[in-house]
Amino acid sequence: MNALENLIRQLSRLPGVGAKSATRMAYHLLKCDESYNEKLSDAIGTIKEKIHKCSVCGSYTETDPCELCSDPKRDHTLLCIVEQPQDVMTIQNSGIYNGMYHVLGGAIDPLNGVGPEDLSFRELRERIKNGSFSEVIIATNPTEEGDTTALYIRHVLQDTGITVSRLAAGLPIGGDLEYADRLTLARSIKGRVSF
């Protein structure tokens, strides 16, 4: 296997990249500016040294605690619980949330052997006990595993007196009723809001 075939092979292991896209990328890298190759190679090679999990919320960060956890301007009485570190970025990008985060590191999924003990529930209990949270927003995915995890979180929080809410499920904005799947439509009818 020569260097070009090796590069294509390594690129095609990235998520969402097939053989054709990997080939296109490889030829692009051969043609483009040398300095870009160096920057990209360096960014990939050093990412694991530079980025770690925040010891408070569990999201990825360069500093510890992360910028969000150590920002006094954010609302430290509001906690949003998500499955993955990238969910923090997604919610941050929406621009509507100004509280704290807690990353579970996944969802409860008994079929794949993931139980509550494999997720950061111990840390969650600690934070709830020592923190001053008045509301928790559950932002697990609207999937079976996310639903199970949401139920478990509610169970964990039941005697704390903290208000618990969950992200609304329903039709995506800009979507078309005709193209909505059966389950989403059922959820949006069941969860209809007064108007």
Residues at the interface with its own copies (CB under 8 A)? 2-4, 6-7, 10-11, 13-17, 21, 23-30, 34, 36-48, 50-51, 60-62, 84-86, 89
Q: Which residues pair with 82 in a beta bridge?
A: 103
From CA 78, how far away is CA 71, in angstroms rounded?
A: 13
Minimum distance from residue 14 beta carbon to its own copies (Å): 5
Residue with smaller CB distance to its own copies, 49 or 159:
49
- 10 or 70: CB nearest its own copies: 10
Shortest distance in whole angstroms from residue 103 CB to its own copies: 12
The C-alpha atoms of residue 14 and residue 22 are separated, in whole angstroms, by 9
Is the CB of 55 or the CB of 160 nearer to its own copies?
55
* C-beta of 52 vs 154, nearer to its own copies: 52
CB of 25 to its own copies, least distance (A): 5
CA neighbor of 137 nearest in space, from 157, 161, 166, 158: 166
Q: List the Cα angle 157/146/97 in 5-degree steps.
A: 70
Name the residue type at position 100. M
Nearer to its own copies, 5 or 126 (CB): 5
Give whole-number Cα distances, 136 to 1, 42, 56, 122, 171, in Å. 53, 39, 16, 16, 23
State in angstroms the smallest separation of the CB of 140 from its own copies: 17
Rg (CA), the chain: 21
Cβ of residue 10: shortest distance to its own copies, in angstroms? 4
Q: How far apart are alpha carbons 28 and 85 in whole angstroms?
A: 30
